[in-house]
Amino acid sequence: MIFNTISIIGLGYIGLPTAAMFASKKKKVIGVDTSRYVIETINAGKIHIVEPKIDKMVKNAVNEGFLNAKLEPEPADVFIIAVPTPFLPAQDKNSIPQPDLTHIKSASKSVANVLKKGDLVILESTSPVGATEQMSAWLAEARSDLSFPHTHGENSDIRIAYCPERVLPGNVVNELIENDRIIGGMTEKCSKASIEVYKTFIKGGCFTTNSRTAEMAKLTENSSRDVSIAFANELSIICDKLDIDVWELINLANLHPRVNILQPGPGVGGHCIAVDPWFIISNSPEDSILIHTARKVNDGKPNWVIEKIKSAITDVLSNNPRKKIHDVTVACFGLSFKPNIDDLRESPAAEITKILASLNICKILAVEPNILHLPSSIPNSVELVSISEAINESDICVLLVDHSEFKNLSKNDLKNNLIIDTRGIWT
């Protein structure tokens, strides 16, 4: 497929780096986003996300004229849709969250306005099985003058594929280039055209399948990790009751050549692992027993940590009879959803700190070396402090995120504090 102009719809954590990659290969890229702030930031050669290397790439791409951001799609040869697919919150604690495809629907409608015969539309957003066929139907609804693969197969005017991203936040540029890629064309021609597009910058292999398998593959990868982490989290709860060091246990079990247990923590955060399994569960609720249980185990872990903190507070009070509960200080080490990043969204560490503060039983300090100010989602009563202030002023130190800065602390530094270590770096 010969293509000159590529349009990326949705300039977030996946869309913007992808746009920058194509532009760095001297392809004309039109980036589209509904946020005026995002458009203005990018067209000024700046970025609105935190991701290494992207700032320089975007600056060069904009200065050299290869990347242009717009509020509405313009004609292009290839459209890559990378918009969010959140889930609709569950109605009650027994109902299953349902995927929200509103953004894909509106992106399809706006792309449909500028589609021409021969164009390729690729969906990259994490999606439930069947979303690509649904997108094809939405496009067809808007453009009865064109034919689409769900009705016309290989003879369709428009090619459509599902090609999920699998990059790790913090290492997006390298993984975009090096990772193998799944190419789920609705027909073989759709897959072939997509491979030619991605081979512009991808060094990894491109493996073709149909769109439904590609959708399921993305959900499977993240659900597999969620289930594995749930196993580690469940072990940590069992071991706590049995007075066994779970990290020593896992290290020992992992010496077995066919065992590879992941690490327990305060819960599973981020925008992918804790979300994507729901797309399988909502499609097949009766058959997703293990995947659903894993979600419950991981979602339940923050509450278990809160209970541990409450019982540590009781210990502090019984060891210091003159202390009142409001004199007890708890320091939460780390707020982000994983180590060495500043992203606090969907973070179990931030959630635990928030819940603890809302209980209003004692003073809460927070240490987060990757931010300068606490976000508004954390109650005002929480104070952001340095590592040494947290150690000196608190009775209880709760390790929530294994940031490098915390790994350097020795047992001696923490000898006067009661420790709850959800990551196993101080034990």
Tell me what percent of the chain is helix, strand and coil, each rounded to the nearest 5.
45, 15, 45
Minimum distance, C-beta of residue 109 to ligand SAJ, in the bound complex (Å): 25
Minimum distance, C-beta of residue 41 to ligand SAJ, in the bound complex (Å): 22
Q: Is 206 a catalytic residue?
A: no
**In this structure, what DSSP letter does residue 275 have?**
T
- The catalytic position among 27, 189, 218, 338 is 218
- Which residues, including other chains, have CB under 8 Å from residue 250's CB and lie 6 or more apart? 232, 235, 261, 263, 264
Minimum distance, C-beta of residue 356 to ligand SAJ, in the bound complex (Å): 18
Nearest to 223 by CA among 163, 257, 268, 265: 268
Minimum distance, C-beta of residue 51 to ligand SAJ, in the bound complex (Å): 12
Considering the complex, state which of residue 156 and residue 211 has its C-beta at the smaller distance from ligand SAJ: 211
Considering the complex, state which of residue 66 and residue 247 has its C-beta at the smaller distance from ligand SAJ: 247
34, 110 contact by CB (below 8 A):
no
Q: The tokens of 399 are what?
A: 């390790």
**Contact footprint for ligand SAJ (CB under 6 A):** 126, 165-169, 221-222, 225, 229, 262-263, 265, 268-270, 272-273, 337-338
33, 39 contact by CB (below 8 A):
yes
Cα separation of 311 and 329, whole Å? Answer: 14
Minimum distance, C-beta of residue 404 to ligand SAJ, in the bound complex (Å): 14
Identify the three-state secondary structure at position 98: strand
201, 22 contact by CB (below 8 A):
yes
Considering the complex, state which of residue 60 and residue 209 has its C-beta at the smaller distance from ligand SAJ: 209
Considering the complex, state which of residue 90 and residue 168 has its C-beta at the smaller distance from ligand SAJ: 168
Nearest to 96 by CA among 128, 121, 140: 128
Considering the complex, state which of residue 10 and residue 169 has its C-beta at the smaller distance from ligand SAJ: 169
Q: Is 218 a catalytic residue?
A: yes
- Which residues, including other chains, have CB under 8 Å from residue 2's CB and lie 6 or more apart? 77
- The catalytic position among 163, 190, 206, 272 is 272
Minimum distance, C-beta of residue 52 to ligand SAJ, in the bound complex (Å): 14
Cα separation of 311 and 37, whole Å? Answer: 46
Residue 84, φ and ψ in degrees, nearest 5: -70, 145
Cα separation of 264 and 258, whole Å? Answer: 19
Considering the complex, state which of residue 142 and residue 355 has its C-beta at the smaller distance from ligand SAJ: 355
Minimum distance, C-beta of residue 17 to ligand SAJ, in the bound complex (Å): 11
Residue 399's DSSP bridge partners are: 333, 421
**In this structure, what DSSP letter does residue 53 have?**
T
Residue type, 61: A
Residue type, 144: S
Considering the complex, state which of residue 3 and residue 162 has its C-beta at the smaller distance from ligand SAJ: 162
Please identify every residue annotated as catalytic: 218, 272
